[in-house]
C-alpha cells in the first residue's frame, strides 16, 4: 500500500457534497476546507479534513507539503478534438488579416485541410503528436479529457483515430474518454446522404464491435448535418449502446438543442445561438450544456452563449476547451475560467464547478472523479496560489505547481 498525506493547503477545494451535477446556487458551493489536508491510499482518497488532523492519521504515509497553496481536483475537460495532424497556422494568420471563413476555405484552409493531413498521417505519427498534447493538458492541471475522432471521415481513418486514442490511454497518465464523431463534416467525395449511410451502416457497427467509443457526437449545423440527419445518426448510435453528445447551435440556431433533448443526450455542446426555448428543452430533458468560450474567443467573435439564463433555468453547466487546431487551439482550462468570468459573467466558483465535478458527471464519471471525497480517485492539482479565484484572475500565467493522477505525481512545474 502506498499512501500520501497532502498537508498545509491554504484551501482544499473539495467540491464535495451532492452526488449529482450542481445547478443554480449549488454551482457556487466549493466545499472549501481552509488549512485542509487529504489522505490518499492506493490511488484513492481516504480522508479529507483539517491538515493537523490528517497529519495525526498520516502514519508512515509520504508527506506532500502543499506549502500554503491551493489544492483542487484535476480539471475534467469534457470536449476536445485531441487527435489530428498538422496545424492551422495559415488560417490563423489569414483570420488575423481579416479574411472571412469562405476566403480561408477557398485558399485551402478550414477543417478540410486538417482532414487531408490526418488521413495522410500514420498511427505512429498521430500518437506522437497526441502524446505531446496530453502533456500540455496535464501541465495545465487537467487530469481527464474527452477525445473525439472526426478528422478522418472514412471508415478506416475514423477507426485509425479511435485506435490512436485507445493506444494513447495506455501510454499517458492523462485519463481519456473516447467519442466517435464520424459526422463532423461531409467528405468532399460523397453527398451528405451517401456519407450518412457510411456513418450509420459501416462506421457505427465497427466502433461498437471494437468498443472504441463511449459516446457518439454529431455536428448539427447548416452545411454539415441538418436536424433529420443528426437524428438518424444519434438514433443509430443509441441502438448500439453509445451515449450521446452534439455540436449544436454554434453558428445558427437550427433547433439543435431541442433535438439533443428529444434524443435524451447526455450533453449539448456550444449553444452560442440557443434561445430560451432551447434552454427550456435542455432543462426538461436534463441535458448538460457544455460551453466552449475558447472557440468564441479564438474566432474573434463576442457571441457567447446565454450563460446567465442557463444558470437561472437550472442547467448543470459544464465548461470545456474544445481543444482543436482550427477554432480553439488551447489545452488551458485556466484560460477558459478567465473567459467564463470576464466574458460570460460566471463567478470563479461557478466556473470551477463547471470544469470539475459537473464535467465529470457529463462523462458518466461523477462517482469516480471531479471532487476530492473519500472513495474517489486521487486526481488532484496543487496550484501555486493561495485563493482559488486567482486561477481565473491571473490569466495567461501558469499556476500549476504539481499534478497527481491516482495518487502519483505526473507533472511538476519545471518538469518531472
Ligand atoms: Zn468541438
Give the tens place of pLDDT for each residue, 129-177: 999 999 999 999 999 999 999 999 999 999 999 999 999 999 999 999 9
CA of 70 to the centre of ligand 1 (A): 30
Output the CA torsion sign for 166, 172, 177, 180: negative
Question: How far is the centre of ligand 1, averaged over its atoms, from the C-alpha of 147 (Å)?
Answer: 10
- pTM, rounded to two decimals: 0.98
Distance from the alpha carbon of residue 51 to the mean position of ligand 1, in angstroms: 40
In angstroms, what is the span from residue 290 Cα to ligand 1's centroid? 10
Q: Residue 3 C-alpha to ligand 1 middle, in angstroms?
A: 38
- Residue 184 is classified by DSSP as T
Name the helix (H) or strand (E) containing 307.
helix 307-312
List residues, by chain if needed, whose CB lies under 5 Å from ion ligand 1: 322
Q: What value does the mean pLDDT take over residues 246-259?
A: 94
Please name which of 259, 261, 324, 266 lies closest in space to residue 292, comparing C-alpha atoms: 324
Distance 279 CA to ligand 1 centre (A): 20
Summary mean pLDDT of the chain: 96
| Alpha carbon of 103 to ligand 1 centroid (Å) | 22
CA of 36 to the centre of ligand 1 (A): 37
pLDDT value, residue 105:
80
- Answer yes or no: are the C-beta atoms of 352 and 388 closer than 8 Å: yes
Using the mean position of ligand 1's atoms as its centre, give its distance from the Cα of residue 38 in Å: 35
CA of 353 to the centre of ligand 1 (A): 21
What was the pLDDT predicted at 214? 98
Q: Max alpha carbon distance in the chain (Å)?
A: 67
Question: In angstroms, what is the span from residue 150 Cα to ligand 1's centroid?
Answer: 10
Q: How far apart are the first and last CA of the chain?
A: 23
CB burial class (10 A; 0-12, 13-18, 19+) of residue 59?
exposed
Over pLDDT 90: what percentage of the chain?
95
Amino acid at each position: 500500500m502506498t499512501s500520501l498525506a497532502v498537508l498545509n493547503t491554504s484551501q482544499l477545494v473539495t467540491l464535495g457534497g451532492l452526488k449529482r451535477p450542481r445547478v443554480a446556487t449549488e454551482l457556487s458551493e466549493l466545499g472549501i476546507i481552509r488549512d485542509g489536508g487529504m489522505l490518499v491510499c492506493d490511488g484513492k482518497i481516504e480522508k479529507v479534513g483539517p491538515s493537523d488532523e490528517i497529519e495525526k492519521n498520516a502514519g508512515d504515509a509520504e508527506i506532500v507539503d502543499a506549502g500554503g497553496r491551493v489544492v483542487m481536483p484535476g480539471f475534467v475537460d469534457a470536449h476536445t478534438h485531441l487527435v489530428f495532424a498538422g496545424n492551422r497556422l495559415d488560417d490563423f494568420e489569414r483570420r488575423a488579416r481579416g479574411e472571412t471563413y469562405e476566403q480561408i476555405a477557398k485558399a485551402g484552409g478550414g477543417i478540410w485541410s486538417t482532414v487531408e493531413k490526418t488521413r495522410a498521417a500514420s498511427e505512429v505519427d498521430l500518437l506522437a503528436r497526441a502524446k505531446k498534447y496530453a502533456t500540455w493538458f496535464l501541465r495545465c492541471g487537467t487530469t481527464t479529457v474527452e477525445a473525439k475522432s472526426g478528422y478522418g471521415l472514412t471508415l478506416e481513418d475514423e477507426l485509425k483515430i479511435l485506435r490512436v486514442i485507445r493506444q494513447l490511454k495506455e501510454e499517458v497518465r492523462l485519463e481519456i474518454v473516447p467519442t466517435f464523431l464520424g459526422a463532423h463534416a461531409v467528405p468532399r467525395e460523397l453527398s451528405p446522404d451517401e456519407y450518412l449511410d457510411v456513418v450509420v451502416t459501416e462506421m457505427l457497427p465497427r466502433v461498437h464491435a471494437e468498443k472504441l467509443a463511449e459516446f457518439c457526437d454529431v455536428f448539427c449545423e447548416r452545411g454539415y448535418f441538418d436536424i433529420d440527419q443528426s437524428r438518424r445518426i444519434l438514433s443509430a448510435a443509441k441502438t448500439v449502446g453509445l451515449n450521446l453528445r452534439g455540436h449544436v447551435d454554434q453558428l445558427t440556431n437550427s433547433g439543435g438543442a431541442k433535438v439533443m433533448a428529444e434524443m435524451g443526450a447526455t450533453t449539448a455542446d456550444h449553444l452560442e445561438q440557443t434561445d430560451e426555448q432551447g434552454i427550456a428543452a435542455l432543462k426538461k430533458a436534463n441535458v448538460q450544456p457544455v460551453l466552449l468560450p475558447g472557440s468564441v474567443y479564438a474566432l474573434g467573435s463576442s457571441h457567447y452563449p446565454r450563460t446567465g439564463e442557463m444558470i437561472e433555468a437550472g442547467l448543470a453547466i459544464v465548461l470545456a476547451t474544445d481543444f482543436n487546431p482550427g477554432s480553439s487551439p488551447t489545452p488551458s482550462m485556466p484560460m477558459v475560467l478567465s473567459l467564463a468570468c470576464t466574458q460570460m459573467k460566471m463567478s470563479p466558483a461557478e466556473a470551477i464547478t463547471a470544469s470539475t465535478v459537473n464535467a465529470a458527471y457529463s462523462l458518466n464519471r461523477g462517482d469516480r472523479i471531479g471532487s476530492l471525497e473519500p472513495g474517489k480517485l486521487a486526481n488532484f492539482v496543487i496550484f501555486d496560489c493561495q485563493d482559488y479565484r486567482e486561477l481565473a484572475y491571473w490569466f495567461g500565467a501558469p499556476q500549476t505547481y504539481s499534478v497527481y493522477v491516482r495518487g502519483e505525481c505526473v507533472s511538476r512545474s519545471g518538469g518531472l
